[in-house]
Amino acid sequence: MSRAELAKANFLKGYACAQAVLLAFSDVTGLDEGTAMKISLPFGGGMGRLRLTCGTVSGAVAVLGMVLAGPGVDPANKRLVYGAVQEFSRRFTAANGSVICGDLLKAAGLATDTNAVPEARSAEYYKKRPCPDLVYSAADILENCLKEAGLL
């Protein structure tokens, strides 16, 4: 199973979008499942259902930070990490139209409700939402970025 398939399967099991992506790369980040789930849960729904940065993007950015960021405040390392984040974001936007959760939902003809109550997960939920495909896309793009950098 590819990391993209694993991430999508995680989402379809009920994980938040950010969790689904981060967990698919747990072998690379070194995070145990419990820690990864706690760190990434708030980023689901575009940061707590505020529909801001897509949770799949936040999960991928967390992986990039865990893999690339060094200790301290080295400006060269910041440039490396920021450059990787920008390249991932460029590719995600090219593939999906935006990195903003609300924009992605609107493009799918869905409401962008921002209340804190997550929608119940059901077959209908998964059928109408772009999220499973966005989770797959984010993990696939991230895996390609890491491979190109020689990190996978």
DSSP states of 106-121: HHTT------SSPPPP
Cα–Cα distance for residue pair 91/124, rounded to 1 Å = 29
Residue 73 confidence (pLDDT): 87
Cα–Cα distance for residue pair 84/17, rounded to 1 Å = 20
- Interhelix angle 3-12/17-24, nearest 10 degrees: 140
Residue 68 confidence (pLDDT): 96
Residue 138 confidence (pLDDT): 99
Residue 122 confidence (pLDDT): 94
Segment 55-94, tens digit of pLDDT:
999 999 999 999 999 988 899 999 999 999 999 999 999 9
Residue 109 confidence (pLDDT): 96
pTM: 0.96
Cα–Cα distance for residue pair 140/3, rounded to 1 Å = 7
**Does residue 136 register a pLDDT over 90?**
yes
Model confidence band, residue 96 (pLDDT cutoffs 50, 70, 90): very high
DSSP state letter for 97: S
Residue 90 confidence (pLDDT): 99
Query: 148: Cβ–Cβ under 8 A, 6 or more apart, which residues?
Result: none
Residue 131 confidence (pLDDT): 98
- When mean pLDDT is compared across 40-44, 68-72, 140-144, the lowest value belongs to 68-72
Residue 5 confidence (pLDDT): 99
* Cβ burial 73-97 (10 Å sphere, 16+ → b, else e): eeeeeeebbeebbeebbebbeeebe
**Does residue 38 register a pLDDT over 90?**
yes
Model confidence band, residue 145 (pLDDT cutoffs 50, 70, 90): very high
**Average pLDDT of the segment spanning 84-111:** 98
